[in-house]
Structure 1
Amino acid sequence: MPNPVVHVLDYGAGNVRSLKNALHALGYNSVDVERVEDIENASILVFPGVGNFAQAMSFLTTHNYVDALKAYILANKRFMGICLGMQTLFEGSEECPGVPGLGIVPGLVAKFPSENLAVPHIGWNGVSAHQSSPIFAHLDASTDPTVYFVHSFRASPSTVNKSWVLTTTNYGAFEFISAIQHGNVVATQFHPEKSGAVGLQMLRGFLEGAAPITLANATSPTQLRKRVIAYAHYSNSLQSDSSFLGGADEIAFLNITSFREQPLDDSPMLAVLEASSARVFVPLTVGGGIRGYTDATKRRWSALDVAARYFRAGADKISIGSDAVDAAEAYYAGASQSVDINEKSSIEQISTVYGRQAVVVSVDPRRVYVDSVDAHTAAVELKHKCGPQGERFCWYQVMVKGGREGRAMDVACEALGAGEILLNCVDMDGQNDGYDLDLICLVKAAVTIPVVASSGAGRPSHFSTVFAYVRCCPSRS
C-alpha cells in the first residue's frame, strides 16, 4: 500500500526540507503544490512559511491560490498552517499595513513590543490548551509540551476569535495565540517539525486525524525556556560528522575556514546539513562564508543566493560573521541607502526575504586592556572577571576573518535586520573558565534582540551562572 500523500504549499522562503523530512519520518510522502488544481484535489494540505507577510500574500495572489486556499479551508478539509502559514489566516498584519490576509480568522497580527522583551521570540516555550485536539492524541494527557518558536509577530486571543483558539502561550506580560483549530483546520505559530519528539507526535496526530484528547494544563501560564545550543566548528579539511548532538536545544555548524572558500562550492557543509535535517528535528544554524562573491567564471552570486542554497539544504537560520561587521561599518558611514536588494548588505538581503529571525550575527570580540575608562571612548570597568594581570579596564574589539583581523567597533547590526546575536568572547574561548559576563551584559543592554552567549563554558555551573547573572542586567529578557 503506498504511503499517504501530503501536499505542501511552499511559497519559497524558509526551511521546507525539514518539514518534508518530518513527513517522511512519519511515513508520508510529500508533493509540492504547483497549480490551483493541486490545492483543490489535496486530501491533506500543509502551508509552512517564515519571513514577510506581504511576500507570502503576494505569492498566493500571483499564483491565483487565494480563492482556492480559502475554499479548501472553509470546506473543512484537512489543513495545517505553520508559523507565517498561520498568520496569513488572519485579516492582516501590522508588519504590512494595507495588505489583506486570507481573513478566515478574525483579528490582526501585531509585533511584540521590544521595550521589555527580546524580539524576536526565539526558543522553547509551552502551550496552554483551550480545546481538545488530534494533535495531542499521541502525547501523554498530563504532559506539559514544550515546542519551538521563532517569530516577531503574534495574534492575540479575543472574544471574536475565541472559538478558533486551540492553545495560547505567554511571553513576558503577553499572551498570544500559539495554535488555532476549527474542525479539520489546524495552524500553529510554533514549528512542530523543529520541536523534537513532541512536535513529531503533534504532526502525527494531525496527519492521522486522530480522536481529539485534552491536555491537563488548560489554565497554566507558560514560560520561555533557556536554550543550550551545541556549536560544531567545522573545516573543509576535516571529516564531516552529521551525528546528533544529544540533548541540545539547537545545533549550529560553523565553518571556521570559510573565508578562504567560495560558499556555494562548500559541498561537505551542504551534505552535513542535508543529512542532519533528515534525522535531527531541532533547529539547525549554519555559519561561515555567507556573503556575496564572484566565482571563477565571473558570475556574481549574492548573499541571498548563498543563503537560499543553505536553507534548501535544511538550515533554519544563517549566521553571518565578518560580512556583518563590514555591513555595520557601512551603516554607520551612511552607505546603506540602496533600494536594490542585491546591493544591500547580506543581513538586509536575507532578512527582507526570510525574516530577521532567520539571521544570526556572529561577533568575536576580544578585550583590549587599558589603564582607565578614560583611555578609550568604549572602555568599561570589568566587574566580574579581570584580565590575566589583574587588569580592570578594557574595550572590546571585534575580530573578523577567523580571528585574523580586528575591527574597532561596537556590536550594531540590529538596525540592518539581524534577529539574534551570537556573542563569542575570544579571550574566553577554550578556557573552560566561564563566560565573559561583563561583555554579555553590555551587549544585552545595547540591543533588543536575543543574545546567545558563547565561549567559556566548562561545566554545568557555568550555564546556571550566566542565566542567573543576566537576569540582573539592565536589559531585556
Structure 2
Amino acid sequence: MIAIIDYDAGNMKSVEKAFQYLNEDAVITRDRKAILEADRVVLPGVGAFGDAMERLHSYDLVETIQDAVKSGKPFLGICLGLQLLFDSSEETPGVKGLGLLPGEILRIPAAEGLKIPHMGWNSIDIKEDSRLFEGIDRQSYMYFVHSYYLKARNPEDVAATTWYSTDIHAAVEHDNIFACQFHPEKSSELGLRILKNFADLRL
C-alpha cells in the first residue's frame, strides 16, 4: 500500500488517481499508523514552503515523516514535497524544513524572456544510474510549476537537472529518499513510468 500524506497541500487527488491508473493501492491519509505501516510513502504538495511546514507541524506529521524515512521504506517527494525535505527556503526565511537531505531552496532568478513561476514542459538531464528514471530516455520532458528551486549540497544526491534561468536540481535520490521538482502525475506516460518505477522499487 502507498500512503499519500494529507496535509491540505494541493495535488493529492491527482497523485492518487495516477497510482490507481497503474493499479496500485494508494490511500490519502494523515494517520500516523497508516503511514508507518504503508509499504511506500508519498509527500506531494503545491503552495508555499512556510504554510506547508506549519500544516505538517499542526497535524503532527513531522515526526511521522522522519520515522517513515528512518524505517527505510521508499519515500517520494513531489514538487513542494521535494522542497520540504531540505533545510530551508528563501520563500519563507527563518522556517526550518524537514532537514532530511542537505540543501536549500532558492528563488529562480529573473531572466529576460523567462516567466516566473516556471510553468510548463522542460527537458531534464537524467543521471545514468537513476533507479527512479529506469527505462526513461536521459533527455525527457516533464511538467513543472514552481518559482523556487533546489540547490542540493551533495552532488551525488542529484538524479536529474534542468535549466530555467539557472541550473536546477530537478530530482534527487538518496538511499530510500526520492523526489521530483516536476509533477510526474502531470507528465503523461513518462511521468506514469516514474511513479510505476517508484511503486516497484525493491531496496
Q: Which residue of 2 aligns with 1:201?
A: 193
Q: Which residue of 1 aligns with 2:66?
A: 70
Q: Which residue of 1 aligns with 2:27?
A: 31
Q: Which residue of 1 aligns with 2:124?
A: 127
- Are the structure 2 counterparts of residues 95 and 29 from structure 1 closer, same or farther at C-alpha, using a change threshold of 3 Å? same
Q: Distance in 2 between matches of 1:77 and 1:24?
A: 20
1:154 to 141, 149, 159: 149
1:45 to 32, 41, 48: 41
Q: Which residue of 2 aligns with 1:113?
A: 109
Contact 2:126/2:138 (8 A) holds in 1: no
Q: Distance in 2 between matches of 1:169 and 1:100?
A: 25
Letter in structure 2 aligned against 1:130: K
Q: Distance in 2 between matches of 1:32 and 1:72?
A: 15
Shift of 1:59: 1.2
1:85 corresponds to 2:81: yes
Structure 1, unaligned stretches of length 5 or more? 212-477
Q: Identity rate of aligned residues, in percent?
A: 38
1:184 to 170, 176, 181: 176
- TM-score, scaled to structure 2: 0.92
Q: Distance in 2 between matches of 1:30 and 1:46?
A: 10
Letter in structure 2 aligned against 1:128: D
Per-residue CA deviations over 1:119-162 (Å, capped at 9, x if unaligned) read: 011111111123522222243xx5521110000000124xx322
Contact 2:126/2:159 (8 A) holds in 1: yes
Letter in structure 2 aligned against 1:51: G
- TM-score, scaled to structure 1: 0.41
- Are the structure 2 counterparts of residues 11 and 118 from structure 1 closer, same or farther at C-alpha, using a change threshold of 3 Å? same
Task: Give aligned pairs, total.
Answer: 202
Per-residue CA deviations over 1:285-337 (Å, capped at 9, x if unaligned) read: xxxxxxxxxxxxxxxxxxxxxxxxxxxxxxxxxxxxxxxxxxxxxxxxxxxxx
Q: Which has the larger radius of gyration?
A: 1
Q: Distance in 1 between matches of 2:118 and 2:99?
A: 25
Contact 2:6/2:29 (8 A) holds in 1: yes
Q: Distance in 2 between matches of 1:183 and 1:108?
A: 19
Letter in structure 2 aligned against 1:76: G
1:15 to 11, 16, 37: 11
Q: Distance in 1 between matches of 2:148 and 2:39?
A: 30
Contact 1:137/1:210 (8 A) holds in 2: no
Contact 1:136/1:202 (8 A) holds in 2: yes
Structure 1 segments of 4 or more deviating over 3 A? none
Shift of 1:114: 2.2
Q: Which residue of 2 aligns with 1:164?
A: 157
Q: Which has the higher contact order (CA 8 A, sep 6+)?
A: 2
Shift of 1:104: 1.3
Q: Matched residue of 2:139: which SS?
A: coil
